Structure 1
Amino acid sequence: MQGLHLTADLYQCACDPALLTDAALLAELCRGRTLDSGLTLVNEKWHTFPDFDGHPGGVTGALLLAESHLAIHTWPERGGITLDVYVCNFMADNSGKAEALLHGLVEVFQPGKAQYERLQRGDENGPGANGELLLESLNDTSAFGFRFARRLHAEQTPYQRLEILESKELGRCLRLDGLFMTSEADEFFYHEALVHPAALAHPAPAAALVIGGGDGGAIEELLKHPSLRDITLVELDQRVVDAARQYLPSIHKNAFDDPRVRLLFQDGARFMADTPRKFDLILLDLTDPETPAGPLYTREFFQLCQSALTADGALVMHLGAPFHEKDQVRDMSAKLASVFKQVHGYGLHIPLYGAYWALAVASDTLDPTALDAATVSQRLRERGIGGLQYYNEGVHAALFALPNFYRALMPAVKK
């Protein structure tokens, strides 16, 4: 049963319009291309839909092949066609014949735009044996993904789609609206980098604010700094915290219940507009700008954050992938620079995010790049911070050593 499944979604087709409405003409084309590709036709079925709303009806057809099938559907009112070719490779490898059939038909239909998918099926010892493949886009043309053996939880909260997945490599993983947020195996890359560069640069942070961060990983790292006696977590979606409590204790380590932590479930922008408090550190541990967190990526919101910082305080946030999201990183860092006197970009590869990832420390006075390795080592020792898996005295400076392509996206730091 092992085989290759190909699909094509075609738009703005410039072929003879009759191919989208005439079942006999379309059937003749599909039969001919099927035989030309070397596949074996054993039966077929075609149906023409009636006219609708002033438009001619489309055609649905299927060719049964000795090797499996070809299915086709047309939408003449949109100039659209969907193609589906599946071939079994049990007795012989028919993959090349499937490719020839699909692309031969696409060539005839002349689409203005096309989308393709390729799926290997039926190999119990193949890649699919390791679980469901889930992909995430980095931009319009790049994607990455992981295989997950189990879905532990899925729900539609009032704000987003929430999933808890599990794999051998990543352990349990939080996914929101189809975007990977954190996993048990690699959370330390992001959370240690988000928290410790700015927290170590501050001589004695006492109060911290985390907006977002419902998985609890950021507050767990903040609690390692003994001078921090007051940590506020503002999370829009309480169901994220609920799910983290149930499924991700290895990430938050019960930080939600520490007496130094206060949980608030409300909109981060509203909190910042209303709070009279001052914080030494503000961490924006947010979902991406195209999500419900979008209003928290504005210059106006950054101004609210600046007003809520102490004189030597700092804002920390992620900017995105500087190679794949150049415009976003450039735009976000420029907004920060229009509010803060210093914006220090830094970065690291984060496995779950599929790329080298950009973060920034924004402040009017705090400069994390001024911290040398000896001072970092001393402060880690004095604060009793051990057991870190990524961050150390050597890594601190390396985080801020930007490759040239990333440096070119960042505004000059005003010293």
Structure 2
Amino acid sequence: MQGLHLTADCYDCRCAPGLLLDPAQLRQFVVEQTIRSSLTIVGEKFHPFQAADGSAAGVTCALLLAESHLAIHTWPERQAVTLDVYVCNFTEDNSAKASGLLDALIASFAPARWQTNRLQRGSGANDQTLALEQLTQHTAYGTQLAPPLVQVQSQFQRIEIANSAEFGKVMRLDGAFMTSERDEFFYHECLVHPTALSHPQPRRALIVGGGDGGSSEELLKHPSIEHITLCEIDPLVIRLAREHLRQIHRGALNDPRVQHVAEDGFAFVKQAARAANASQLYDLILLDLTDPQNANGSALAADCYGEEFLQACRALLNTGGALVMHLGSPFHHPQRFGQLRQRLGNIFTHVSPYTVYVPLYGALWGMAVASDTLDPRRLDSHAISARLEERALGVLQYYNENVHQALFALPNFVQNLGA
């Protein structure tokens, strides 16, 4: 009987009405998601209900799985859905498959609010939930989270903030880990400082994404920074980060040098590139984005990885300016890493890929600096040490003059991606 039992109660669902009313449409969707999660269907039943006047009134369905079962009940009159996924873990651990399936179902029913429960059957229980993110269809990484402090559906995405024993407060967007209090410096210091320290005196910066404030906080350590445009599409992310993630942004989201723009990054950059004059250009552009598409199907930032967008970013850079972005995991996402590296190389004269292990992501992560003039690999440890001393950046937990050179020392399998 050892296994994992997951339930979700979803309210004010904004999905297509057919998912709540039409058994054929619901069946097609549910079967597709179940197969995608690599669970095995061995039987099924979809039963539609009718109201007193003969109109459709909801659907109850059950899939019998070799691993156990999936049950769904729709309540169209309340725009509500209840979900029930149970998998046996006796011969192998199917937890990641079940969690991925539940996340995909919740995302597709698009509830304004929802409540989830997780029960470890046959091996005791506690109030902790093993939150898993699918790195690929076959691999997941996770950590135990306490009951959520925040669990809300914004206009754009699902936002969750919860406490973790190892990571402190953790933020997830659409089921994907974004940042945590205790490991954010791995990502934010390495996103910001290799580029910012390679620039002789960065004054103006644009951050696309970055609503948690971590990259803004690192940039503001550089005394020459006069202005940061923080283009975050979802203002609710910034509001919740202000309230719950102060250990990440450390007040940067309230700094007068940071201008918030609640706009789609693609639209903002394209419009700014068309209208830009010399006073509106940037020394640094940081693409602190969600993945182009995560394993749960969310693709909110996909346009910001395309060549058209990157060309517009180049047009917004001052002479000597640079762009930095993450490329995904070179091991788990080699195709994405290689394609983005090549795309940057088609646009910029110099592309400098590098890697850092990010604990919350459970993987080696790739980043790249792109510029027509600036190449961070040219600065040796003595030059970086001198700039660190000159700028007095304060406490850094990861980055130093020796780490700078080490970041750009790529293993052969990474060096060959997109080369």
What is the count of residue pairs matched by the alignment?
327
| Residue equivalent to 2:255 | 258
| Residue equivalent to 1:131 | 128
| Residue equivalent to 1:208 | 205
Change beyond 3 A, Cα 1:85–1:338: closer
Q: Matched residues, percent identical?
A: 47
- Residue 223 (structure 2) pairs with residue 194 (structure 1): no
Q: Secondary structure at the match of 2:166?
A: coil
| Residue equivalent to 1:409 | 417
| Residue equivalent to 2:349 | 341
Task: Please state how far the C-alpha of 1:20 moved relative to its aligned partner.
Answer: 5.8
Task: Please state how far the C-alpha of 1:354 moved relative to its aligned partner.
Answer: 1.1
| Residue equivalent to 1:280 | 283
Change beyond 3 A, Cα 1:133–1:311: same
Please list the CA deviations of residues 189-242 of structure 1 after superposition, one character each: whole Å capped at 9, or x if unmatched.
000000000000001111111010000000000000001111110110000000
Task: Please state how far the C-alpha of 1:120 moved relative to its aligned partner.
Answer: 4.8
Task: Please state how far the C-alpha of 1:154 moved relative to its aligned partner.
Answer: 0.8
CA distance, structure 2, for counterparts of residue 61 and residue 215 of structure 1? 39
CA distance, structure 2, for counterparts of residue 393 and residue 272 of structure 1? 33
Change beyond 3 A, Cα 1:20–1:272: closer
Aligned partner (choices 314, 324, 346) of residue 322 of structure 2: 314
CA distance, structure 2, for counterparts of residue 221 and residue 204 of structure 1? 15
| Residue equivalent to 1:382 | 390
Given residue 396 of structure 1, which amino acid in structure 2 is its aligned partner? H
| Residue equivalent to 2:2 | 3
CA distance, structure 2, for counterparts of residue 335 and residue 139 of structure 1? 22
1:136–1:145 Cα contact (<8 Å) kept: yes
CA distance, structure 2, for counterparts of residue 211 and residue 303 of structure 1? 15
Kindly name which structure, 1 or 2, has the bigger radius of gyration based on alpha carbons: 1
Given residue 288 of structure 2, which amino acid in structure 1 is its aligned partner? D
- Residue 146 (structure 2) pairs with residue 149 (structure 1): yes
| Residue equivalent to 1:360 | 368
Task: Please state how far the C-alpha of 1:122 moved relative to its aligned partner.
Answer: 4.5
Given residue 159 of structure 2, which amino acid in structure 1 is its aligned partner? L
Unmatched 5+ residue regions in structure 2?
7-30, 36-41, 49-59, 72-83, 95-118, 294-298
Q: Secondary structure at the match of 1:317?
A: strand
Unmatched 5+ residue regions in structure 1?
12-18, 22-46, 51-57, 63-68, 74-81, 88-94, 100-118
Equivalent runs, 1:7-406 vs 2, <5 Å: 95=90, 120-124=120-124, 129=126, 131-275=128-272, 276=276, 277-290=280-293, 291-406=299-414
Change beyond 3 A, Cα 1:169–1:273: same
Runs of 4+ in 1 over 2 A off after TM superposition: 2-7, 47-50, 58-62, 69-73, 82-87, 119-124
Please list the CA deviations of residues 113-145 of structure 1 after superposition, one character each: whole Å capped at 9, or x if unmatched.
xxxxxx852434xxx547101111111211111
Change beyond 3 A, Cα 1:371–1:71: closer
2:204–2:283 Cα contact (<8 Å) kept: yes
Given residue 289 of structure 2, which amino acid in structure 1 is its aligned partner? L
Q: Secondary structure at the match of 2:159?
A: strand
Please list the CA deviations of residues 226-263 of structure 1 after superposition, one character each: whole Å capped at 9, or x if unmatched.
01111110110000000100100111111122121111
Task: Please state how far the C-alpha of 1:70 moved relative to its aligned partner.
Answer: 7.5
Task: Please state how far the C-alpha of 1:280 moved relative to its aligned partner.
Answer: 0.5
Change beyond 3 A, Cα 1:264–1:70: closer
TM-score when normalising by structure 1:
0.72
1:215–1:240 Cα contact (<8 Å) kept: yes
| Residue equivalent to 2:17 | none
Given residue 295 of structure 1, which amino acid in structure 2 is its aligned partner? D
Task: Please state how far the C-alpha of 1:49 moved relative to its aligned partner.
Answer: 7.3
Change beyond 3 A, Cα 1:167–1:366: same
Task: Please state how far the C-alpha of 1:59 moved relative to its aligned partner.
Answer: 11
Please list the CA deviations of residues 267-311 of structure 1 after superposition, one character each: whole Å capped at 9, or x if unmatched.
111211222121000000000102211111000100000010011
| Residue equivalent to 1:38 | none
CA distance, structure 1, for counterparts of residue 313 and residue 69 of structure 2? 55
CA distance, structure 2, for counterparts of residue 372 and residue 145 of structure 1? 37
2:328–2:367 Cα contact (<8 Å) kept: yes
Please list the CA deviations of residues 30-58 of structure 1 after superposition, one character each: whole Å capped at 9, or x if unmatched.
xxxxxxxxxxxxxxxxx9979xxxxxxx9
Task: Please state how far the C-alpha of 1:3 moved relative to its aligned partner.
Answer: 3.4
Please list the CA deviations of residues 336-376 of structure 1 after superposition, one character each: whole Å capped at 9, or x if unmatched.
11100111000010011110000000000101001111111
TM-score when normalising by structure 2:
0.72
Q: Secondary structure at the match of 2:347?
A: coil
CA distance, structure 2, for counterparts of residue 140 and residue 266 of structure 1? 31
